[in-house]
Amino acid sequence: MLRSLVPRLTGLAYDERSRTGREHQGDLPVVLLTGYHGMGRTAVLEELAARYRDRLPLAHVRAVATESATFPHAPADGGAPTAATLVEILAELVCGLAPALRRRFPVLAPGLFAVSGWYHGNGEQRDAACLRFARLLLACRLAGGDENALRHAWATAVEGRLETIDAEADAEWGRDAVTAAVVAEYTERHQPAAAQEWYRGRFPRGADGQDPLVLLGEWFQRGGDYRHAAEQSLMAAFLHDVASSYGRLQRWNREPWPLILLDDAHCPPGQDFLDLLLEHRALPERPDHEELVVVATRLGGLPEDASDAVRRDLPDLVKSSGWQRRGLAPSAGLLAVPLTPLSRDDILPLLVPGRPARPLHPYLASAVHSLTGGHPAVTTVLCAAVLDATKRGRGVDPRDLLELNAKDGRPVTEALLERLLPDRRQRDRLTLLSLARDSTAAEALAEHLRLQGPDQLPANSATDYLEEQQWQQLTPPDQPLVTDALLRTLLVHEARRTSSRAEDGRSWQDIHRFLRMHHAQRGESGEADALRHTLAAGNAETVVAMLTEEFQSEKDANAAAHWLLCLQYAATAPTPPAEEWTDERMQIALGAHDGRYAELHEIERCVNRLLHALWHVSEPHAEPDPDMCKAVGEELAYLSPRHPSWHAVLGQAARNWPAAARKKRPFPISGQ
């Protein structure tokens, strides 16, 4: 993406001053980077902005979902300014591109003035619009001086033209009057005759005799189909001005094409911009063939209506984009590139310290990959935390990864969840509800914890939020509330970390006690879940007793699969908080503490060792210990001949489960 595709689109090398051959002429694709939170969408755009700024015309904008009260100032740290409407996006593009273009948007600029009216008497809207005017005029070099002084001058001038309007006039009529006053002031100062003529051609003949800029503003304010037509005119004006800035001399000199970086294009204003751009480029008789390079990002995957988009993986882009427009559908102009997770080989270099330090665990890269699935943001934070802990002299084992602190000193799970789930209320809610087995149990837990009420969000809004943030699609009632394994692991660990100071029935023990009772009421279908929550509360003795009792009393050969399922699923229980429990799973599994259980029957002692061995190897982020994997097979092999009808199923599990544990694969159960 950085070193191959974008240089071939812009005509300018990524990290050199040299020109490079262009892949497309006359018709360029819109590159759409797709991925989930933390996959690196924003990082790619920031890297492109850093490399290409001041080397070609560049605009970097981030779309947001809610409209701000005032037009935002450009960030002082060089980050992307935000835009909450299509007009704000276009205004930011003008401010970014105009200083480096030959023609500084002589058609679009007056159009943006025309559609930026406000309700007469609304000072906040007026100040926001006039600030936009000031920034546009300064970027297009139509005025000089201080931004705030220019804003004040425009507000005063327009208000002066509106003094004759009746204060009790109809609000819509008052807004049209504001539009007319803004256009009149702009016309008097800058004489946009060419722009007026251009916009006149965009309206039907019945509109002859009216000022086309005033008509553009009125159509925009009217909404519906009128607004869509006005927005199409604004997009056409934008592309016309860009195309007009590249004449024969610029093309002869192979000047690089302008670059637009649009972050979070899934938000409504970003989607509107892309839709209008793709519609215009799909026109059979396209009036302006501008060479404008657009790289946008979208949370999640492709939109459902983008069936004609060309999809390419990152390795496919090294030699060629493989894009060619096929058909006249707007989405045919999209080149979709999903951002993919890191591999284990990608992670290993992130764990190489900058200076000599104590050696790391030999399988730490594998453990990070096993935990994160290669998620770039989580992987980067964890690797940095490992190196920081190592620099301070602390040894880090795979099971310590979630116990580390981020660079700012906060626990890594707190820092990561804040980034992956931006809404704090939903994040806090999901931290508790993630302990539930499925959505039905989560609803019962939410009601038990009184998470509903006038000052709270509905319990089921947690799944709505996850779906909105593209973490998952529709969530069936019998599926986990949080279906993403990494997100669920982080949430469960955060619940464990914060439960020691929880009150009002929200402690780790209280929650798992309630969930155990909830599933126990379901009878046999809830047995595995009840055992899992019992073990999560640290009560392994009860789980061992129940599994042993069933092993010794059940004679039906078909019940072996159910017993193994309960055993295996119970062992996926999260471990209790460290303040409430001492981790002795390995010692118990290897028989070091058999003396404690001398009064138990040998079958029960065997089940106890087996359960603790499985519990140890089932942690998602821990590299399986070879001795634990071996113990699983040995204990199952011991139990196999000691049951009158389960020996075949248990014997097969004794052969297959150790290998599954070593490779972190699901445990196969005969008959399931």
Secondary structure, 3-state, 2-65 = CCCHHHHHHCECCCCCCECCCCCCCCCCEEEEEECCCCCHHHHHHHHHHHHCCCCCEEEEEECC
Pair 141, 109: CB distance under 8 Å: no
Closest CA to 158 of 142, 145, 174, 138: 174
User: Is 521 within the bounds of a domain?
Assistant: no
Left (φ > 0), alpha (ψ -120 to 50) or beta: where does 35 sit?
left
Strand, helix or coil at 263? strand
Left (φ > 0), alpha (ψ -120 to 50) or beta: where does 282 sit?
alpha
Q: What is the Cα 653 distance to its own chain's centre?
A: 40
**Higher-scoring residue by pLDDT: 356, 188:** 188
- Regarding whether 126 and 35 lie in a shared domain, the answer is no
pLDDT in tens, 16-28: 778 888 888 878 9
Which one-letter DSSP state was computed for residue 85?
S
Closest CA to 492 of 405, 541, 433, 416: 433
Please state the rounded mean pLDDT for residues 321-328.
90
Query: What is the end-to-end Cα distance of the chain in Å, rounded?
Result: 45
pLDDT in tens, 166-183: 544 555 567 889 999 999
Q: How far apart are CA 22 and CA 630, in angstroms?
A: 59
- Regarding whether 641 and 610 lie in a shared domain, the answer is yes
User: Is 524 within the bounds of a domain?
Assistant: no
Band of residue 119 on the pLDDT scale cut at 50, 70, 90: confident
- Regarding whether 117 and 177 lie in a shared domain, the answer is yes
- Regarding whether 355 and 313 lie in a shared domain, the answer is no
Outline where 526-601 has alpha helix (H): 527-536, 540-553, 559-570, 585-589
Residue 199 structure tokens? 């916009």
**Higher-scoring residue by pLDDT: 501, 230:** 230
Calculate the alpha carbon distances from 391 to 192, 228, 386 in Å: 64, 58, 9
Pair 85, 287: CB distance under 8 Å: no
Helix axes 123-139, 147-161, angle to 10 degrees: 120
Average pLDDT, the chain: 89
Closest CA to 179 of 231, 226, 221, 237: 221
Q: Which of 152-166, 167-181, 574-588 shows the highest mean pLDDT?
A: 574-588
Strand, helix or coil at 535? helix
Strand, helix or coil at 523? helix
- Regarding whether 654 and 599 lie in a shared domain, the answer is yes
pLDDT in tens, 610-660: 999 999 999 877 778 899 999 999 999 999 999 989 999 999 999 999 999
Of 282, 310, 340, the last residue of a domain is: 340
Q: How far apart are CA 423 and CA 462, in angstroms?
A: 11
User: Is 474 within the bounds of a domain?
Assistant: yes
Structural domain total, the chain: 5
User: Is 518 within the bounds of a domain?
Assistant: no
Pair 664, 370: CB distance under 8 Å: yes
Residue 461 structure tokens? 């809004």
- Regarding whether 97 and 12 lie in a shared domain, the answer is yes
Band of residue 456 on the pLDDT scale cut at 50, 70, 90: low
Please state the rounded mean pLDDT for residues 31-36.
95
Per-residue model confidence (pLDDT) at position 479: 81
- Regarding whether 252 and 223 lie in a shared domain, the answer is no
pLDDT in tens, 246-297: 877 767 777 889 999 999 999 999 999 999 999 999 998 887 788 899 999 9
Band of residue 78 on the pLDDT scale cut at 50, 70, 90: low
Per-residue model confidence (pLDDT) at position 447: 87
User: Is 323 within the bounds of a domain?
Assistant: yes
- Regarding whether 310 and 269 lie in a shared domain, the answer is yes
Pair 342, 314: CB distance under 8 Å: no
Residue 58 identity: L
Please state the rounded mean pLDDT for residues 573-578.
92
Per-residue model confidence (pLDDT) at position 172: 59
Residue 30 dihedral angles phi and psi, to the nearest 5°:
-90, 120
Please state the rounded mean pLDDT for residues 438-450.
88
Per-residue model confidence (pLDDT) at position 173: 65
User: Is 520 within the bounds of a domain?
Assistant: no
Report the percentage of the chain scoring pLDDT > 90. Answer: 63
Residue 19 dihedral angles phi and psi, to the nearest 5°:
-75, 160
Please state the rounded mean pLDDT for residues 439-446.
88
Of 455, 473, 506, the last residue of a domain is: 506
Exposure of 368 in the CB half-sphere (CA atoms within 13 A): 33
Instruction: Give the helix, strand, coil percentages of the chain, each rounded to 5.
Output: 55, 5, 40
User: Is 482 within the bounds of a domain?
Assistant: yes
User: Is 91 within the bounds of a domain?
Assistant: yes
Residue 214 structure tokens? 């005033």
- Regarding whether 117 and 9 lie in a shared domain, the answer is no
- Regarding whether 134 and 34 lie in a shared domain, the answer is no
**Higher-scoring residue by pLDDT: 183, 66:** 183
Exposure of 52 in the CB half-sphere (CA atoms within 13 A): 33
pLDDT of residue 103 exceeding 70, the answer is: yes
Q: How far apart are CA 611 and CA 568, in angstroms?
A: 8
pLDDT in tens, 505-534: 789 999 999 999 999 998 888 899 999 999
Band of residue 69 on the pLDDT scale cut at 50, 70, 90: very low
Band of residue 305 on the pLDDT scale cut at 50, 70, 90: confident
pLDDT in tens, 367-408: 999 899 999 999 999 999 999 999 888 888 888 999 999 989
> Residue 662's domain spans which residues?
531-672
Closest CA to 298 of 143, 180, 146, 469: 469
SS3 sequence, 439-459? Answer: HHHHHHHHHHCCCCCCCCCCC
Closest CA to 335 of 359, 351, 316, 354: 316
Of 340, 360, 390, the last residue of a domain is: 340
Sign of the CA dihedral with 454 first, then 459, 460, and 463 last: positive
Residue 287 maps to which CATH number?
3.40.50
Residue 177 structure tokens? 């009057």
Per-residue model confidence (pLDDT) at position 76: 45
pLDDT in tens, 415-442: 999 999 999 989 999 999 999 988 889 8
* Residue that has been written with the tokens 């023609």 in this structure: 103
Left (φ > 0), alpha (ψ -120 to 50) or beta: where does 392 sit?
alpha
- Regarding whether 94 and 1 lie in a shared domain, the answer is yes
Q: Is 366 exposed, middle or buried (0-12, 13-18, 19+ CB in 10 A)?
A: middle
Pair 309, 335: CB distance under 8 Å: yes
Per-residue model confidence (pLDDT) at position 373: 92
Per-residue model confidence (pLDDT) at position 282: 93
Per-residue model confidence (pLDDT) at position 453: 57
* Beta strands 310-311; 334-338: pairing state: parallel
Pair 97, 290: CB distance under 8 Å: no
Residue 220 dihedral angles phi and psi, to the nearest 5°:
-60, -45
* Beta strands 310-311; 82-83: pairing state: unpaired
pLDDT of residue 73 exceeding 50, the answer is: no
- Regarding whether 552 and 466 lie in a shared domain, the answer is no
Closest CA to 653 of 613, 644, 662, 634: 634
Please state the rounded mean pLDDT for residues 186-205.
92
